[in-house]
Amino acid sequence: MNIVKIILGLSLAALSFISCNTDKSLQVYIVDKQEDDRFMKLDLATSLIEDAEGLDEENRKILKTIKKINVVAYQKEQGTDADYQTEKAKLDLILSQEKYHLLSKFKSNNQLVTLKYIGDDTTIDEVIVYGSDDQKGLALFRLLGNNMKPENLANLAMSLEKGGFNLSDMTGMSGIEDIFKE
């Protein structure tokens, strides 16, 4: 009887160990930063930008596939170089997980911007824009949605740009834009 209890206990312990996901998620990282005063944080419901000037009905419909936008940014002047390198390493580790597919990378001087997504070639559930500048800081934009289409998101971005819509005009976004100004 004791052997059965021991085997059962070990089996349950092994099962719980195997089932625990030790990979830190982007969601957990963002939640962890909500109480950290060194970070700028912003959660946007897309309903705030659905009425942006210059958007036609088609683009409003595309925008409705995006449920929420999370923004987290760290300006180096708010901390130390060691803090910056630690946060950058955490994000690099999280975004190196297989579930994040690389869309593109842009590098200019000290700046690196990486676009990643979760989904497949036809539907995207999450888009991540991660930018870092070794002299200024880092910023992370996470767009959550349902079955977002890659081509629709590209069209929406062009429409927002043509319409003169500027995220920095929104409360809380101006400091984030400063990280990537030359």
Q: pLDDT tens for residues 81-123? A: 999 999 999 999 999 999 999 888 888 888 999 988 998 878 8
d(CA 171, CA 71): 12
Phi/psi of residue 9, nearest 5 degrees: -65, -45
Q: Which pLDDT score is estimated for 123? A: 84
Output the pTM of the full model: 0.72
Is 149 within 8 Å of 61 (Cβ atoms)? no
- For residue 106, the one-letter residue type is F
Whether 46 has a pLDDT exceeding 90, the answer reads no
For 120-133, the pLDDT digits (tens) are: 878 888 989 999 99
Domains of the chain, by residue range, sit at 22-178
What pLDDT is stored for residue 7 in this prediction?
47
Q: Which of 4-18, 49-63, 64-78 ranks highest by mean pLDDT?
A: 64-78
**114 touches 134 (CB < 8 A):** no
143-182: pLDDT as tens digits:
998 878 877 777 766 665 565 544 444 444 455 555 555 5
**What share of the chain has pLDDT > 90, as a percent?**
35
Determine the 3-state secondary structure of 86 from DSSP. Answer: helix
Task: Please give the pLDDT value at position 141.
Answer: 93
> pLDDT grade, residue 39 (50/70/90)?
very high
Which residues touch 68 (CB under 8 Å, ≥6 apart)?
Answer: 43, 44, 45, 46, 143, 144
Asked if 97 and 23 touch (Cβ cutoff 8 Å), the reply is yes
Count CA atoms within 13 Å of residue 148 on its CB side.
26
Cα 74 from chain centre: 13
